[in-house]
Each structure stands twice: as structure tokens, then as C-alpha cells.
Structure 1
Amino acid sequence: MISRKERLIRALNLSPHPEGGYFRETYRSPMNLPVHQQTEAFDGPRAACTGIYYLLGAGDFSAFHRIKSDEMWHHYEGEALTIHQIFSDGLYQAVTLGRDIGAGGRPQYVIPAGTWFAVTVDADPETNPDAYALAGCTVSPGFDFKDFEMAKGYMLKNAFPEHADLISDLVRD
């Protein structure tokens, strides 16, 4: 029998993402913003907004990375997710993205531009190997891989040594 996770990957035509998990872009605004005039962070115009489906299975993770735009996450189905954030001042914050608001979950959450973050599924892969979470991500100004930076573990650990163990668990180098 095919798991719900595998059925979603096929039905939504998801592809492996470099940071982990699976994704497919679902929206790219036809309107471009001249963001290079507003900040030096961007090297040219960007779509006003982009959106993706993002699926992560138990035992996998979205590795620490950052982008130059705000990124809003939306929980659609499956297990809750933990968004692990390290802010520029070294503050660590974990946020639960999920539908159980009574247990502290949030159905959507915005990660501020430039914040290092990683994401894990709140399920034990040993006892629930088919567990997954289906989420959506909306980025504004729109996502461009030129604005994406995958963390190098040694550099992130040097910058934030107090979080070295977490960083070691959630990088891919």
C-alpha cells in the first residue's frame, strides 16, 4: 500500500529540494518589484510574491538556510513542524507550526528575512515512519535561488557556538 506521503508527492508533482524534503512552486507573481532600488540585498527585480508546496517526512529535515525575503509558512496537513530559528543576535527560538492551537501550534508563521532556520517534523521516525507534514511557503519579495544561502556548519557554529549541537544535527555538510 502506498503511504499518504508518497501519494501527495506524486499527486502534487513534488521534487526533491536541496535543503531536504520535497517541493513544487505553485505561484510566481507576474508583477516584478524593483527591489534593487530599495535595498542592496537584492541584485535586481524580484517577483512580488512566490508560493510553494513543501513536504517533509519524519526523520528528514530542512537544513539551516536563510533567504533575503520574509517567508510565511502555512500548515496544511500531517504532523506539526518545528521551525528552529537563530537570529543575528544569537537568540534561538523554536516555533510549532501546526493546527493544534491548544497545544501551542500556529497554522502560519513568518520567518523574518535573513534569519537562519531549519525545520523538523514532530514525529518519531522509528514509531511512525510514514509521518509527514505538508506545508506551504509564501515569500515576498518573491523567492529566487540567488537569494538562498545554505548554511555551512563550521561557519554557523563559529558564529553561534552556543547552538553547536543543534547546528550539527541540522546541516548537510
Structure 2
Amino acid sequence: MDARAWVKALGLKEHPEGGYFKETYRAGMEIDLPGFDGRRSAGTAIYYLLKSGQFSAFHRIKSDEVWHFYAGSPLAVHVIDREDGKYQKMTIGKGKRPALQAVVKAGCWFAASVDKPHSYSLVGCTVAPGFDFRDWEAGWRDELLASYPEHKQIIVKFTRQ
């Protein structure tokens, strides 16, 4: 299947950060946690499809996020660690060194891209505690560059402002 066929088959919609998505699960159990504004679902899951030439811009959330590879070309997940500021590129997909999952720790800045031209990556994202837009923060280019000047090239590439 190509990207268009997956978007149609799974009922994906455009995502505000680029690509396409559909929430597939939201736990009925809600929890109260320190540092969160109100109750949160215990966990959530989405399908996410990104095409070559698109990217998910740097952002961060208050929860851990597990990325799962399903189809297409490998997906690059670009992470700036919240604790030491180090950059790491995690690639999920099939290939010489297959990795079908990657974990982005809560509070880390991250972006995603498909490096192979004329392709796409279909993945899933599982978030615990569950995703809530109140916990989402955009990575503004100027602020990220001020905090992590050593990562200028990757920050400029994966921010929109």
C-alpha cells in the first residue's frame, strides 16, 4: 500500500505538526498526577503517518511516548535530552539494524522525519499518562537555539519558525 491508501484505509486526518493521524485508544481510567493540570487518561495510542518532505516539528510532552513501526520506510526520531541536552537520532523500521520501537522520555524535545525520498512511514505512538494537548509544548526556534546552540543545524531543519 502507498501512503494515500493507508490514510484512506485507516481514516487518518491531518496532524497539526505535519503528517496524518488517528487516535485509536484512550484508556477509560483517569488518574491525578503531580505536575499535571487536572486528570489524565492512563494511556492513549494513535496511528501516525509521515511522508518524505514532511516533518513533525520539535515539541515536547509531559509523558513518555513509545513509537512503534508498522509499514513503509524507516522513521527518524530526533531527540534532545531534557537532562543533559545531548542529541540522539533514533531510527525505527526495517533494515540492517531493525528497531521496531523507540522511547522518548517525558520532557525531551523531539521531532520526526522520513529520510528516504518518495516514501512514507506508518507508525504508532503510545503515551502514558495519556496524551492531552494541555501537556504539549511547541519548540520555538529562537528558544531552542538559545538553549542548545550546539544543535543549530538540526533545530533549524525541524522547526517552522
Is TM > 0.5 for Structure 1 vs Structure 2? yes
Distance 1:18 1:105 in 2: 29
If you compute each CA radius of gyration, which structure gives the higher value, 1 or 2? 1
Residues 1:52 and 2:27 are matched in the alignment: no
Show the counterpart of 2:14: 16
Whether contact under 8 Å (1:84, 1:95) holds in the other structure is yes
Q: Cα offset for 1:148?
A: 0.5
TM-score, structure 2 length as denominator? 0.96
TM-score, structure 1 length as denominator? 0.89
Equivalent residues in 2 for 1:17-36, closer than 5 Å: 17-35=15-33
Show the counterpart of 1:115: 108
List, as ranges, runs of 4+ consecutive aligned residues in structure 1 with deviation greater than 3 Å.
none
Residues 1:154 and 2:142 are matched in the alignment: yes
Whether contact under 8 Å (1:80, 1:105) holds in the other structure is no
Q: Cα offset for 1:122?
A: 2.5
Paired residues in the alignment total: 160
Residues 1:74 and 2:68 are matched in the alignment: yes
Show the counterpart of 1:144: 132
Q: Cα offset for 1:104?
A: 2.4
Q: CA RMSD in A?
A: 1.1
Code of the residue aligned with 2:114 in structure 1: it is V
Q: Cα offset for 1:166?
A: 0.9
